[in-house]
Amino acid sequence: MADLGAAPVPADDPLAGRRVLVGVTGGIAAYKAAILVRLLQHAGAQADVILTRGGARFVGAATFEGLTGRAVRQEVWEDIAGESHVALGRRADTVVVYPATAHTLAKLAGGLADDLLSTTLLAATCPLVLAPAMHTEMWEHPATQHNVALLRERGASIVGPDDGPLMAGDAGPGRLVEPEVALDAVRAALVSGSPRLPDDVPAPVGAGPARRRDLLGTRVLITAGGTREPIDPVRYLGNRSSGRMGFALAAAARDRGAEVTLIAGPSELTTPDGVLRYDVTTALEMHTAVLEHLAAADVVIKAAAVADFRPVAPASSKLKKDQGVPTIELTPNPDILAELGAARSGSDPLLVGFAAETDEVEAGGRAKLQRKGADLLVVNDVSGDDAGFEVDTNRVVILDRAGGRVEVPLADKRTVAERVLDRVVAWRAAGPTGPVADAAGTLTEPR
């Protein structure tokens, strides 16, 4: 569950300062819309809510009025003189329907306008995100599938549903995606107009300065998470990497227009919408996957914490305590980043490494940058408990091959990801020698 306490608004979040209209329809999961509203606000967006009659049976308008500080509209016939039934939709930068019932999807597909939400949806020209939630039979019904396909064709972004527990003890596809996933889909829709539309579609009207598409058409390969090296069928050597930094990079690069491939070690995190994800377990699998996708990458960002060693011969059955303390012989794993650095000709692809250090952080990072042949190295001190592994924040120094350094003070991982991508963009723009940053992190003209 997201931390819903006061949180700093990341300055670069595409949601900052945008208006998001949340349509809440009649499903048991409607209560999760309150969390989505909160997350939108934390991201700096203004959220307005339209509650359908069905939605209001599950969660009260007072909840949303308390959260947003504004009236929640429910009926077309309210406030006729003050605000027309299409005004909210016209003003919105993105509309998300969360949850979207089968009935709402059908109405929208058919162009019906019999309540405030459906009239608003017909009048809105901004990107639309729909998060279906219903029983499996309803979701799988050809009528629903047809409606969803039609809406997708028209450019709506359909997020979910998940496969999981439903109402009344049922389980299966039809579960509403979690609020964090919907938030990410809203962000993606806002940035790209619609995540389903091709990249050359012009920016939506009113997209504003928050939209930065400086990685448009760039193919970015990102590794994330830790690897697991089997000792026996139930045990492994692993590390504390959660994958959050790599996933934040994937979402940020996607939002900036990149085609993103994510190679992830075991992780609970949800794949950012529009990102192509491949799951791996061991360092050797990650090595193979990276090499497979290397030719199609302009930028490789190795945020994964790859195990340096693996057991030479994992036991085929579980090691037993009564067999005594085992001696596990280890052998080095391939250093994927160093291999890429040594093998590339010229400066293609651009290589970005990460280094988690506990002592002599920067000196160690500088040596590693040289040793691995990377262009940029993101170094973080993982000795504190507010940066690095298993937390949402990070504090890093970005070193580059030309001797520059940029310090990124403690910030959420999304903001850190944006700063890393800023350096990627600057490095690519400056050509093989790269831009030069002075000690304060100010970029100067390329040499």
CA angle (343, 349, 354) in 5-degree steps: 85
User: DSSP E strands: which ranges in 35-86?
Assistant: 46-51
By C-beta, is 121 or 297 nearer to ligand C5P?
A: 297
Among the candidate windows 58-66, 205-213, 315-323, 331-339, which touches ligand C5P by CB under 6 A? 331-339
Q: Given candidates 65, 214, 335, 407, which one binds ligand C5P under the rule CB under 6 A?
A: 335
The residue from 126, 304, 420, 437 that contacts ligand C5P (CB under 6 A) is 304
Report residue 435 as tokens: 């831009």
CB of 299 to ligand C5P, least distance (A): 13
Q: Is there binding between residue 247 and ligand C5P (CB under 6 A)? A: no
CA torsion angle for 33, 36, 42, 46 (degrees, to 10)? -70
285 is a site residue for ligand C5P (CB under 6 A): no
Q: What residues from 358 to 417 belong to the interface with ligand C5P (CB under 6 A)? A: 368
Q: Which stretch binds ligand C5P (CB under 6 A): 15-23, 67-75, 267-275, 298-306?
A: 298-306
Spatial CB neighbours of 321, under 8 Å, sequence gap ≥ 6? none
For residue 431, what are its two tokens? 């050509």
Closest among 334, 271, 329 to 306, alpha carbons compared: 334
| Residues belonging to the active site | 239
Cβ of residue 304: shortest distance to ligand C5P, in angstroms?
4
- CA neighbours closer than 13 Å in the CB half-sphere of residue 424: 31
Q: Which of 24, 283, 417, 437 binds ligand C5P (CB under 6 A)?
A: 283
**What's the number of CA atoms in the CB half-sphere (13 Å) around residue 430?**
21
Q: Which of 98, 139, 354, 427 binds ligand C5P (CB under 6 A)?
A: 354
Calculate the dihedral angle through the C-alpha atoms of 190, 196, 202, 206, rounding to the nearest 10 degrees.
Answer: -20
Residue from 59, 124, 176, 306 in contact with ligand C5P (CB under 6 A) = 306
Nearer to ligand C5P, 139 or 354 (CB): 354
Where helices occur in 295-381 by DSSP H, the ranges are 336-343, 361-372
The amino acid present at 148, given as its one-letter code, is V
Residue 302 contacts ligand C5P per CB under 6 A: yes
Q: Does 336 bind ligand C5P (CB under 6 A)?
A: yes
At its nearest, how many Å lie between ligand C5P and the CB of residue 229?
11
CB-based contacts of 35, cutoff 8 Å, min separation 6 = 1, 2, 4, 179
Question: Looking at the chain, how many residues does it have?
Answer: 447
Per CB under 6 A, which region of 24-32, 156-164, 257-265, 353-361 contacts ligand C5P? 353-361
Site track 407-446 with ligand C5P (rule: CB under 6 A), x = hit: ----------------------------------------
CB of 336 to ligand C5P, least distance (A): 3
Select from 51-59, 148-156, 173-181, 328-336 the region that touches ligand C5P (CB under 6 A): 328-336
299 binds ligand C5P (CB under 6 A): no
DSSP one-letter string for 237-277: E-----SHHHHHHHHHHHHTT-EEEEEE-S--PPPPTT-EE
Residues that bind ligand C5P in the complex, under the rule CB under 6 A = 223, 283, 302, 304, 306, 308, 333, 335-337, 353-355, 368
